[in-house]
Amino acid sequence: MAMSAPFVDAPLRCPPNGTPTFRPVLVAVERCKGCELCIDACAPGALALDTGQVNAMGHHPVRLVNPDACTSCAKCARMCPDAALSIFARPREG
Amino acid sequence: MSATREADGASPGSPAMSEGRTIYARPLLLTNPTSYCPGCGHGIVHRLVAEVLEELDLGGRTILVGSVGCSVFAYDYLRLDSVESPHGRAAAVATGVKRVRPDRIVFTYQGDGDLAAIGTAEIVHAAARGERFTTIFVNNGIYGMTGGQMAPTTLPGQKTTSSPLGRDVETQGYPLPVTEMLSLLAGVQYAARVSVADPGHVGKAKQAIKRAFEIQLEGKGFSIVEVLSTCPVGWGMTPTEAMDHLRDTVMGAYPVGTFVDRPRRIAPSLPQPGPSHRSITEGF
Amino acid sequence: MTVLDRPGADARPRVLASPPGTGGEAFSLQDRVLMKGNEAIAEAAIAAGCDAYFGYPITPQAELLEWMARRMPEEGRTYVQAESELAAINMALGAAAVGARVLVSSSSPGISLMAEAMSYMAGSRLPMVLVNVMRGGPGLGSIGASQGDYLQATKGHGHGDYRVPVLAPSSIAEAIDLVGDAFTLAERYRTPVILLADGILGQAMEPVKPTFRALERPPRPDWVLDGAAGREPRVIKSLHLRPEDLERADLALQATYAEITENEQRWAGESLDGADVVMVAYGTAARIARTAVERARAAGLMAGLFRPITLWPFPAAALCEAARDARAVLAVEMSAGQLVEDVRLAIEGAVPVFHHGRMGGMVPTPDEVVDAVRRAWSTSDGGAS
């Protein structure tokens, strides 16, 4: 049986010549079934279906469209039936 | 929620944040992506069980007693030694497992057909005997695997493929309140009904599941958590509509709450009592 | 410590001074004690290292359950009186999955309830031993002895493409021996095994040697469930959704059955030399047939007895060989005609096959069997049956 994969991406990305970007939510795109329970649970509306993408299962996966609105409350991950969401706390400023 | 991959011990509500601390990551006990329908409550419950077993560090000595229904494939999604049971027999199979290996953590994972229809005798007697395993009972009021037929927990008036005009109580009877029924039995150490309707209820569901496994660790008696869940495809709704229906209609018919949480196993010399409720039909 | 971890199987044979619980002194015939069949089978299982017993009361085997109810807790083993035979056999499934040596007992109507789990255990490759103390049927039938479950036991018992080895003792002493053999077969081939007895064997009391054979415990197999710490998880199941996968699993089962058929057939022959009429009978019917052989031969009729001990795999080649020079074969059984079908299959028309059966708890007398032998002898000159 396959072990669950670690993150394919990292929450904090530091490009060589750019500003670091932090994403509080990482989506395991291939696990997501586009059920939208996370979108429904997200009060600040940070998530939306990525209708421009279709994963191997044939679903539109969810995407963190408004990272700044996310408070890392993890309600989305709490609802996710596919454990497709990983949640990170925002690093300290300064 | 807790970080299961990096155990840095901070609570999710803590205001102190360091560099990108992990608030939530998928438990390692969850393996393959599931074949459940989008929005199916089974996925949530599998995840909660995996989180609890990992937090209690029980995964390595747990045996899953599977059942027949949509969740027959649970052994493909949870990293646990598993045995498949005939339909309805999981509570008997778990009895055999736990009696021979009381040092293992044993749980059944059953839907409403498996537990409340064909398996009713087995669950009642396992509970009455106070068998020291845990039952996770996922109640979505329908038979998903076989195409959406009526279940013993289907609500009056609810349309299913075998009650196309809506469940008629005159000819098709009334729903079974499983947790209420089982809570009458002295062998039941812990009985709770929870739901996955929204993040708050999911959190309480996890607490109940954790309590149920702790009861088993204490070796006191039978523990059961009835999880009210959804079947979007069977109910003919989107996943979010199904959660709304669960919250607005199903939870009204099946009250959530802790029905039994005994501080100690009932001694044989006591007369057969009714349930020792801490609270009944109250929310947490 | 669990029941599986108790001090290792006692290699010394158990010696009973007197049957436990009888309260009085043993009735001793030379070096033997009187024991009831049901109780002897139970004690034999305990001696053979039975870790877990699950049962439900049904006549004529309730004494087996009751013996276990007293003795299993004494020995620190697992015992549960289940709420039904359906629950009992499924408890056995669970216990077998975690490596217990398991016994279940019942009688005909209860055995029917167990068909589902037997099919699951065969498909899941789980070893266990099921004792059927047959009674009259069909339906609720009667509580008298019969052999009406032969087809049920030998033709797979439940749904799907599987068989289980079936051992048929014809005396209590033989039943005691076959209990240990049943566990051995079950574990060697990872299959349920049926010990097929009847109400007479279960209820009768016979002198038996008070030593019950202990059975070694093999090292824990690598399919047993005990928690996946430090290794890949194990799944015990019979579901293989893809037809290619299920066919592969079924072929593996069939290969096992071929191996069992090759290696595990058992039978006994008595007075077969010069026999014109070879009787085929098992269990209690064989004992009656044995007396009929004596009486027939005393009257000048050359009769013999071929007694299958494994009903599956049926000792077909041995029967053919035994009947090769006979004039007729006579199947004697306490049923309408079940064993006789396997006899006909085995004989393949080489010799006429006749049948004498009683049902419903009726037991044939030796004299009526002698009459059947006579009829078979006189009807069979040149005629096929």
Q: For every residue of C153-213, which 3-state class applies, written as one string?
A: HHCCCCCCCCCCCEECCCCHHHHHHHHHHHHHHHHHHCCEEEEEEEHHHHHCEEEECCEEC
B153 φ, ψ (degrees, to nearest 5): -105, 5
What's the one-letter identity of residue C95? A
The mean of the pLDDT values for chain C is 92
Could you give the CA distance from residue A65 to residue C227 in angstroms, rounded to a whole number? 42
Q: Burial of A52 by CB count in 10 Å (0-12 exposed, 13-18 middle, 19+ buried)?
A: exposed
- The residues of chain C that CATH labels 3.40.50.920 are 268-379
Q: Say which of B82, B101, B125 has its CB closest to residue C226.
A: B101
Beta-sheet strands, E only, within chain A: 12-13, 21-22, 25-27, 47-49, 62-64, 85-88
Closest C-alpha to B66, from C344, C225, C303: C225
Q: Say which of B20, B44, B50 has its CB closest to residue A12.
A: B20
Q: Is the peptide bond before A44 cis (omega within 30 degrees of 0)?
A: no
What's the Cα-to-Cα distance from B157 to each of B106, B153, B164, C166, rounded to whole Å? 37, 12, 10, 51
- The residues of chain C that CATH labels 3.40.50.970 are 3-212
Q: Per residue in B217-250, pLDDT tens?
A: 999 899 999 999 999 999 999 999 999 999 999 9
Q: What is the pTM of this model?
A: 0.90
What percent of chain C has pLDDT above 70? 92
Residues of C with CB under 8 A from a CB of B: 2-4, 51-52, 54, 78, 80, 82-84, 86-88, 90-100, 102, 116-117, 120, 124, 225-230, 233-239
Q: Say which of B60, B66, B84 has its CB closest to residue C227.
A: B60
Four-way CATH pick for C3-212: 3.30.420.40, 3.40.50.720, 3.40.50.970, 3.40.50.170: 3.40.50.970
Task: Provide the residue ranges of all domains of chain B, joining segments of one domain with +.
Answer: 41-261
What's the Cα-to-Cα distance from C231 to each of A13, B58, B59, B173, C227, rounded to whole Å? 35, 14, 12, 48, 9
What residues of A are in contact with residue B198 (Cβ under 8 Å)? 41, 79
Q: Under CATH, which number does the domain C268-379 receive?
A: 3.40.50.920
Closest C-alpha to C20, from C60, C72, C62, C78: C72
Which residue of chain B is at minimal alpha-carbon distance from A3?
B31
What kind and span of H or E run contains A69?
none
What percent of chain B has pLDDT above 90? 84
Q: Under CATH, which number does the domain A18-87 receive?
A: 3.30.70.20
Four-way CATH pick for B41-261: 3.20.20.70, 3.40.50.970, 1.10.287.3510, 3.40.50.720: 3.40.50.970
Q: Per residue in C68-123, pLDDT tens?
A: 999 999 999 999 999 999 999 999 999 999 999 999 999 999 999 999 999 999 99
Q: For residue B153, how many other CB atoms are within 10 A of its CB?
A: 26
Q: Per residue in A23-82, pLDDT tens?
A: 999 999 999 999 999 999 999 999 999 999 999 999 999 999 999 999 999 999 999 999
The mean of the pLDDT values for chain B is 89
Does A86 sit within 8 Å of B27, measured CB to CB? Answer: no
Q: How far is A6 from chain B (nearest CA, A)?
A: 9
pLDDT of residue C4: 78
Does C92 sit within 8 Å of B96, measured CB to CB? Answer: yes
Q: Which residues lie closer than 8 Å to B223 by C-beta, 6 or more apart?
A: B133, B134, B135, B188, B189, B190, B191, B211, B212, B213, B215, B216
Q: How far is B185 from chain A (nearest CA, A)?
A: 33
Mean pLDDT of C369-383: 87
Q: For residue C133, how many other CB atoms are within 10 A of its CB?
A: 31
Decide if C379 contacts C351 (C-beta within 8 A). no
Could you give the CA distance from residue C95 to residue C105 in angstroms, rounded to a whole number? 15
Residues in chain B: 284
pLDDT of residue A84: 97
Count chain B–chain C contacts defined by CB atoms under 8 A: 145
Mutate to test the interface with C, among B101, B109, B217 (most CBs of C within 10 A): B101
Higher pLDDT, B17 or C165: C165
What residues of B are in contact with residue C4 (Cβ under 8 Å)? 100-101
Q: What is the ipTM of this complex?
A: 0.91
Per-position b or e across B192-204, b if 16+ CB within 10 A of its CB: bbbbbbbbebbbb
Q: Is A12 on the interface with B (CB under 8 A)?
A: yes
Does A33 sit within 8 Å of B39, measured CB to CB? Answer: yes
- Would you state the structure tokens that stand for residue B204, as one six-digit string? 């309480």
Residues of B with CB under 8 A from a CB of C: 59-63, 65-66, 72, 75, 79-86, 89, 92-105, 121-122, 124-125, 129
Q: Say which of C4, C54, C117 has its CB closest to residue B86.
A: C117
The sheet with strand C267-270 has its strands ordered as C267-270, C303-308, C277-280, C328-333, C353-357
